[in-house]
């Protein structure tokens, strides 16, 4: 961590974004916690998971009744915001929206149908739910609530805001061109109008 401490030095920054592959498949947060300790407590810390990290949500029973996985809960207790949906920060007169890339192409109606069916099926069971089934029900209900929040952001989003897209894997030119072709020109909440894209996955990551 000495090199990270040196790199940070006395640099002033208003936010720290972690773009995945920070724990490994076992969800070990020890190294990440050392890194977090180098960042001032009043600086917002945002994280999106990578392909080598475990899922954020617990689909099976675990050590608590939280919808979040144990490693995710640990990071939240340390002040990390898990970006699984649009998250906003206010800086002066500006509102910055941090959006996981997958949100732009999410079919909210289809996803709602899937999660509502799961929740209704589990809720209608005449026998007591197993611990794993209860965890699945909590996750489905949470996903339904998240979809409602995403709808509100999409509906009320203003292009006066700063739109920052977070993607663990860098986005190719072909993918960006396709996504922009699919999105309406007047849709401010889209990759077409994003101000900054931050990615990781490869050494040193990428920004656009």
Question: Tens digits of per-residue pLDDT, 178-205?
Answer: 888 888 888 889 988 999 999 998 877 8
| Joined tokens for residue 194 | 């994003």
Sheet strands side by side (includes 16-18): 16-18, 45-47, 80-82
pTM of the model: 0.91
Distances (CA, A) of 161 to 23, 43, 54, 176, 188: 32, 20, 32, 21, 9
* Res 121: pLDDT: 95
Distances (CA, A) of 170 to 20, 108, 117, 173, 201: 12, 24, 34, 10, 7
| Joined tokens for residue 171 | 């986005």
Distance, C-alpha 176 to centroid of its chain: 19
Alpha-carbon gap, residue 156 to 104, rounded angstroms: 15
Residue 208, SS3 per DSSP: coil
Per-residue model confidence as pLDDT tens digits over 125-145: 878 899 999 999 999 999 999
| Joined tokens for residue 117 | 């069916």
| Of 74-88, 109-123, 170-184, the least confident | 170-184
Does 3 score more than 80 pLDDT? Answer: no
Report, as an integer, the average pLDDT of 63-89: 95
Question: Up-side HSE of residue 172: CA atoms within 13 Å toward CB?
Answer: 3
Cβ partners under 8 Å of residue 29, min gap 6: 22, 23, 71, 74, 75
Per-residue model confidence as pLDDT tens digits over 99-120: 999 999 999 999 999 999 999 9
């Amino acid at each position: 961590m000495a090199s990270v401490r040196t790199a940070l030095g006395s640099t002033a920054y208003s936010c720290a974004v972690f773009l995945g592959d920070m724990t490994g498949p076992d969800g070990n947060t020890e190294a990440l916690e050392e890194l977090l300790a180098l960042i001032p407590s009043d600086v917002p810390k945002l994280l999106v998971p990578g392909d080598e990290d475990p899922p954020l949500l617990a689909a099976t029973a675990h050590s608590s009744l939280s919808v979040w996985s144990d490693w995710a809960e640990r990071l939240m207790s340390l002040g990390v915001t898990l970006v699984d949906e649009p998250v906003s920060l206010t800086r002066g007169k500006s509102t910055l929206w941090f959006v996981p890339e997958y949100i732009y192409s999410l079919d909210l109606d289809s996803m709602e149908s899937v999660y509502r069916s799961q929740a209704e099926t589990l809720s209608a069971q005449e026998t007591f739910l197993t611990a794993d089934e209860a965890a699945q029900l909590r996750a489905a209900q949470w996903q339904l609530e998240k979809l409602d929040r995403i709808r509100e952001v999409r509906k009320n989003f203003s292009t006066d805001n700063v739109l920052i897209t977070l993607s663990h894997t860098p986005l190719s030119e072909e993918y960006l061109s396709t996504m922009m072709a699919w999105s309406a020109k007047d849709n401010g909440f889209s990759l077409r109008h994003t101000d900054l894209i931050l990615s990781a996955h490869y050494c040193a990551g990428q920004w656009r």
